[in-house]
Amino acid sequence: MSATMQLEENVVTRLQKGNQQSFEEIYDKYSDSLYGLILRIVKQEDLAQDILQDCFVKIWQKAPSYDPSKGTIFTWMLNICRNKSIDSLRKTSREKTDNGIELERLDTGAENININTIGLKDILNNLSDDKRQIIEYLYFKGYTQQETADELDIPLGTVKTRSRGAIRDLKEYFTLILAFWISKNI
Amino acid sequence: MDIKEYIASGILESYVLGSASSQERQEVECMSHIYPEIKDELVLVQSQLESYIKTLAVKPPEALKSKILDAIKSVEQDAKETYNQPNADEKKGRVVEMNTTQNSGNANFFKYGMAASIAVILGLAVFTFNQNLKKGELENELASVKSDVDMIKDELTASSKKYQDSIQLIAYRENILLNSETQSVTLAGTGNSPESNVRVFWNKSSSEIVVVKDQLPLAGKDKQFQLWGLVDGVPVDLGMLADNELITNPRKIDLEKVDAFAITLEQYGGSPQPNLEQLYVIGNT
């Protein structure tokens, strides 16, 4: 086990025992990513901040039942944040009948990604549109595969292959990001 | 079971993307528990998604942090749920006290009975799952063998038909060549190609001819030999001759009278009029 993982485990163990200091460490380390994710889903800053607060309270509350054998604490927290955001999204979209606005938002969604500072936009664009769309619907909009197939008017099998392909592509995509980052920083 | 196939099915990705059904989720958790390879792949896919999410990071407002830190101060952590991993000292050794009174004996019997039943059901579920996978594999294999056999059958039928056809054709050609009514016309080489020699077998009653190239050079690239019938001094096109065909298949000609047969070298596909400068062989009937 690597040193960082061990360190992380200690932070997590302390968090599980109710240590507020370690909660703050976790906040410092992950709040940017979690907030980014929530913002990506709900697309409103006020709402995203409320959800982030709710999520961190839940993370604190439920920390003792987090089971490291099932995945990293990051994945565990991502799930909490994603579920809460999608719940809230469903609530607001049920209230709102006009889905024209929503579609417009979807189109610009990819551009909102906060990677401009490191200039990675081009690389992100490498992930082909149809695969990005699949991630958008499945992960960020919380659609089921069937709902995604209906919405995009493509066969269910295509949704399955593309969602597989999208994750496979991410693998190459991160190699690119890493290479890019190294070339910029070293 | 075929672990590679399971991984390739994409179920792990749909688990990680949160689009798996609750049944699929349970299955993935169960399978990754049993098979380390599946667990490794699952961790890999999760870490890929984690890295992706990190690129979306946005810093929340500074004020939010203290608000959240305040908020948790008044919130109690939930007690660890019993089905989760026991902590270290609990793990070292926990002695279950046997209770001897009638009542709790029953309760224990019930409890352990339930646990045993669940274990058996789980075991059966995994077993059935494995059996189904094996059955599926065998079915796939059988289907692929069946389709191979069908393919070979088709090939065999096709080639035996081809063989029969060519035997029939040879017999038919032989009929023409040996028929007493068939006239043999010898086409001798011209100055262009003195050594060339071709015979045309012409059966007037069936209006069919067979061309035998006893000696004729190859036409070469973009060129082809063309057969002509001369009828009252007018050349009539009788079709092209392929380089690889030493004896042609019988071909019908629509002529009752032919004064002479001739072969010229023409552009590939033939010409409407013969190029007499490229006359190779000619013979009167």
Whether B137 and B219 map to the same domain: the answer is no
Whether B45 and B145 map to the same domain: the answer is yes
pLDDT digits (tens, 9 = 90+) for B237-247: 999 998 888 88
B91 falls within a domain: no
Distance from CA of B112 to the nearest CA of A (A): 24
User: What Å distances lie between residue B271 and B167, B224, B242, B274, CA to CA?
Assistant: 33, 10, 15, 6
CB A55 within 8 A of CB A38: yes
- For B258, other C-beta atoms within 10 Å of its C-beta total 22
pLDDT for position A109: 38
Whether B276 and B224 map to the same domain: the answer is yes
pLDDT for position A120: 47
B252 touches chain A (CB under 8 A): no
Tell me which residue range forms the domain holding B60.
Answer: 1-72+129-149
Contact flag B71-A56 (C-beta cutoff 8 Å): yes
Contact flag A65-B78 (C-beta cutoff 8 Å): yes
pLDDT (mean) for B63-82: 85
More reliable by pLDDT, B90 or B124: B124
Contact flag B17-A72 (C-beta cutoff 8 Å): no
**Main-chain dihedrals φ then ψ at residue B214, nearest 5 degrees:** -70, -40
A94 touches chain B (CB under 8 A): no
B187: domain CATH number is: 2.60.40
The residue of chain A with its CA nearest to that of B78 is A61
pLDDT digits (tens, 9 = 90+) for B258-284: 999 999 999 998 999 998 889 999 999
d(CA A58, CA A68): 17
The residue of chain A with its CA nearest to that of B10 is A164
pLDDT higher than threshold 80 for residue B130: no
d(CA B226, CA B264): 5
The residue of chain A with its CA nearest to that of B7 is A164
Q: The sheet that has B208-215: what strands, in order across it? A: B234-241, B223-231, B260-267, B279-284, B182-189, B197-203, B208-215, B251-252
Instruction: From chain B, pick out residues whose CB is under 8 angstroms from the CB of A64.
Output: 77-81, 84
Question: Along the 186 residues of chain A, how does pLDDT read in single tens digits?
Answer: 555 666 666 889 999 988 999 999 999 999 999 999 999 889 899 999 999 999 999 999 999 999 888 888 999 999 999 999 999 988 876 665 444 444 433 433 333 334 443 444 454 555 667 777 887 888 888 888 888 888 888 888 888 888 777 776 765 666 555 565 555 555
C-alpha dihedral sign at B272, B273, B278, B284? positive
Whether B140 and B230 map to the same domain: the answer is no
pLDDT higher than threshold 50 for residue B117: yes
Whether B5 and B143 map to the same domain: the answer is yes
Whether B198 and B248 map to the same domain: the answer is yes
Whether B258 and B188 map to the same domain: the answer is yes
Secondary structure of residue A78 in the 3-state scheme: helix
Domain total for chain B? 2
B65 touches chain A (CB under 8 A): yes
B88 falls within a domain: no
pLDDT higher than threshold 80 for residue B35: yes
ipTM: 0.70
pLDDT digits (tens, 9 = 90+) for B174-191: 888 888 889 999 999 988
B30 falls within a domain: yes
More reliable by pLDDT, B55 or B92: B55
pLDDT higher than threshold 80 for residue B132: no
Domains of chain A in start order, with CATH, are 1-97 (1.10.1740.10), 98-186 (1.10.10.10)
